Amino acid sequence: MLNSRRLILAHFWLAFGVFGLALLLGAWQMFVRSPLQAWISNPEWYYRSLTAHGTVMGYVFPTLVAMGFGYAISEAALKQALIGRRWAWAGFWLIAVGAVTAMVPVSMGLASVLYTFYPPLIGNPFYYIGVVLVVVGSWIWVALMSINLHVWKRDHPGEPVPLAMFANVAGSYLWAWTAVGAALELLFQIIPVALGLRSTIDAGLARVFFSWTLHAIVYFWLIPTYIAYYTIFPRAIGGKLYSDPMGRLAFILFLVVSMPIGIHHAFADPQVGAGFKFIHSAFTALVALPTLLTIFTICATAEVAARMRGGRGPFGWIKALPWSNPIMLATALSFVMLGFGGAGGLINMSYQLNTTIHNTQWITGHFHLIFGGAIVIMYFAITYDLWPHLTGRALTSVRLMRAQLWLWFIGMIVTTFPWHWVGILGMPRRMAFFDYSSPALAADAMSVTMSAFGGFILVASSILFFAVLIQNRRAPQAEPGEYRFATAIHPPITLPAVLNGHALWIALMVGLTVTNYGFPIMQLLVTPETSVPAVYVGAEK
Amino acid sequence: MTSSPHIHDDGAAVAARAERRWATLSIVIIVVIAGVAAFAGIHQATMPQVRVETADPTTLHIGGEFVETNLGSAAEPDGTVTVRAIGQRYSFTPQCILVPTDTPITLRATSSDVVHGLLIQGTNVNTMLVPGYVSVLTARFEKPGEHLMPCQEFCSIGHEGMWARVKVIDKAAFMNMTSNRRRLDCVE
């Protein structure tokens, strides 16, 4: 039951539209800093492009996917027409207007500060105001998800909340709270300075606020992908989910422990002491737990489905899986990238190993593999799965979909593996130019060239993706039937309140954030004379 | 469910047992990883700086430990070497840092304008430079040689040009040089 099809389609089209543009910028960046291109005449172009790429890919694209998918989940899983559709459209338009407001000064070169802001560099105020509008638009979605679940619970007392909706609402709360860090930084620190009301800013405090957002935002990007693992993948391969409560536990763990760990982004920072760095490092190890649980549950789900299809042997059952199904393929490729990316993440979480790769190209390689690879390939899968229900037309070209997914996977591996490697060699990130004629950098030339070709493969994959969606517009109308999510082998009949609601976990999330961030923030607030003069970009030209 | 409740319960029990075993193993893996990190930290293999120190970037050039004449490498009475450096758009001072082999080195550095960072290639020396705060870290170089030291954080449009060098020389030669110069560097 998808009543709000136009609303959901609008979110997906805008998401993938901006994604396509930002992807082109990314590929151009890979090209200009590789040995394929001689000195770029104005390095400012590179940082302008990098700011746009990061802002769109980090704040606009995944937010729109989570929102569009969230509305679909609310209607299909709860079998209840969306409450507050007008508000949902208001949220959508706030994001569209916010994205344009932010991108105008960026494209004019007035806000080349990168999506991480990092004051005392200060850009045009409209850049930051645009980002705030995007976040406010997404908060409308958070409220709507909460209200829709609340109404459903009132009408269905004691019934288990469908797993997809339970996870979707957990993801929305995670986003609402993690965005607070950057919101505090923008509203109380950066925007007053950008507007000229103040001329100094505490750069260390700003970095702590930003780390509050910067790590958990990754799990906000990840939640739609995990929802697809648990509630689309089992149904798509003709099976059932191995365990429903374990899925709930995984999402609960993300909600609770993805927040109080962000200071691992500040391991090399002077404004946080050793104690809290250690605490955040230990909590970061904990966030591997929901992923380890998920790997088990999803692999077990696949094995049960394969054995039902006649698969035999300790590993022979893998052959019996429906490999021609794009969802099967996307999930398997996503898992491979999640495995490599997760292993890299375990390296980043420890202070000791992080010192070797901190702020090198390893880091960019790492988050492109996890986000651009493992997560985004499932955004494609979600789109393919949902699309016929949104357009009322079948997706006919399964081969094209498989080719697109393979190309995305190959492109990501070719891009990110050499990227990790040059990071280990000590190549710093976010530079417009490298002098490969220097003997110390000559060793990086080959790897950077490979990465650039990986970027071109990704662009080719995205062209196929749009081709699939455009072909769908010309396909004959077909009634896709009800959109449904996977059921568990043993569906829950009743659930304890803690597995059926979010209140306790929100309390823990807020409580752990206060204990793990409260002291470092208070200490910086009371330390005198830490504010430094702002440096306005674009002012020196 | 068409299967009898009895068979259903058995299957559920087997599934739950497998799941519990995996969850236990996962927790053990995580405890071991966090334990190894804690062990390495406590044994000082690498430790972040313990205290937070501040420095006003607007007065660095007027007085205090980061005045220009005090930058570079200084031999301390206890046999260690302290290196003081600052980052500014778009260079480090000194642009070439001179250090001896086999000597405990303490690096003290800060920024005079925006956020910078430094890493020394081929080592695990890597820190942010945040204006307003002093970054402190310790290191020891075993072999003589030269390393590149780029800025590793975006610091505006000249970031790609912000590279310095670190030259590691024999300890005896270094100590000889300290007899006639208070602060050493290898800027030519």
Write the pLDDT tens digit of every residue in A181-199: 999 999 999 999 999 999 9
* Residue B154 counted as domain residue: yes
Q: Where along chain A do its domains lie?
A: 5-536
* Residue B127 counted as domain residue: yes
Yes or no: say if A212 and A178 are a contact pair by the CB < 8 Å rule. Answer: yes
Residue type, A401: M
Yes or no: say if A267 and A277 are a contact pair by the CB < 8 Å rule. Answer: yes
pLDDT band for A176, please (50, 70, 90 cuts): very high
Q: What is the mean pLDDT of residues A31-60?
A: 92
Q: The domain A5-536 is classified under which CATH number: 3.40.50.970, 1.20.210.10, 1.10.357.10, 3.40.50.720?
A: 1.20.210.10
Out of B19, B128, B156, the one facing A121 most closely (by C-beta) is B156
CA distance A183 to B143: 47
- Which of A61, A126, A210, A219 is catalytic? The answer is A219
Judge if B132 and B72 occupy the same domain: yes
Contact A270 B52 (CB under 8 A): yes
Q: If you search the block for the tokens 């693992």, which residue do you land on? A: A229
Judge if B123 and B58 occupy the same domain: yes
* Residue B187 counted as domain residue: no
Out of A118, A203, A359, the one facing B132 most closely (by C-beta) is A203
* Residue B184 counted as domain residue: no
Out of A120, A274, A358, the one facing B49 most closely (by C-beta) is A274
Structural domain total, chain B: 2
Judge if B85 and B134 occupy the same domain: yes
CA distance B164 to B156: 17
The phi, psi pair for B84, rounded to 5°, reads -110, 135
Q: If you search the block for the tokens 């990840």, which residue do you land on? A: A222
* Residue B75 counted as domain residue: yes
Q: What is the mean pLDDT of chain A?
A: 94
CA distances from residue A82 to A74, A76, A135, A500 in whole angstroms, order as listed: 7, 10, 21, 20
Provide the domain limits for residue B24: 1-47
Min Cα separation A404/chain B (Å): 34
Judge if B17 and B42 occupy the same domain: yes
Is-catalytic flag, A436? no
Residues of A in contact with B38 (CB under 8 A): 278, 282
pLDDT band for A1, please (50, 70, 90 cuts): low
Min Cα separation A482/chain B (Å): 22
pLDDT band for B2, please (50, 70, 90 cuts): very low
Judge if B87 and B4 occupy the same domain: no
Which one of A55, A444, A531, A532 makes the best mutation probe of the B interface by having the most chain B beta carbons within 10 Å? Answer: A532
Is-catalytic flag, A484? no
At A540 the pLDDT is: 47
Residue A47 has pLDDT above 90, yes or no: yes
* Residue B140 counted as domain residue: yes
Contacts of A481 (CB under 8 A, 6+ apart): none
pLDDT band for B68, please (50, 70, 90 cuts): very high
Q: What is the mean pLDDT of residues A439-447?
A: 91
Judge if B40 and B60 occupy the same domain: no
Strands A532-533 and A200-201, by their bridges, are antiparallel
Residue A401 has pLDDT above 90, yes or no: yes
> B 50-79 residues with CB below 8 A of A?
50-54, 56-58
- Which of A5, A393, A430, A484 is catalytic? The answer is A430
Q: What is the mean pLDDT of residues A243-253?
A: 95
Residue among A132, A112, A227 at smallest CA distance from A172: A227
Residues of A in contact with B37 (CB under 8 A): 281-282, 285, 349-352
Q: Where are the alpha helices (DSSP H) in A368-483?
A: 376-391, 398-424, 439-442, 445-474
Q: Which two tokens stand for residue B57?
A: 């970037």
Min Cα separation B179/chain A (Å): 33
* Residue B81 counted as domain residue: yes
Out of A43, A118, A531, the one facing B160 most closely (by C-beta) is A43
Strands B81-88 and B105-111, by their bridges, are parallel
pLDDT tens, position by position, A491-500? 999 899 999 9
Instruction: Report, in angstroms and rounded to the nearest whole number, the Rg of chain B calculated over CA atoms.
Output: 25
Judge if B101 and B123 occupy the same domain: yes
Q: What is the mean pLDDT of chain B?
A: 90
Is-catalytic flag, A379? no
Q: How many residues comprise chain A? A: 541
Is-catalytic flag, A389? no
Is-catalytic flag, A367? yes
At A275 the pLDDT is: 86
pLDDT tens, position by position, A27-43? 999 999 999 988 778 89
At B166 the pLDDT is: 97
Contact B128 A268 (CB under 8 A): yes
Q: What is the ipTM for the molecules in this complex?
A: 0.91
Yes or no: say if A209 and A180 are a contact pair by the CB < 8 Å rule. Answer: no
CATH number for B134: 2.60.40.420
pLDDT tens, position by position, A359-390? 999 999 999 999 999 999 999 999 999 999 99
Number of H helices, E strands in chain B: 2, 11
For B53, half-sphere exposure in the C-beta direction (CA atoms, 13 angstrom radius) is: 13
Which one of B50, B54, B160, B162 makes the best mutation probe of the A interface by having the most chain A beta carbons within 10 Å? Answer: B160
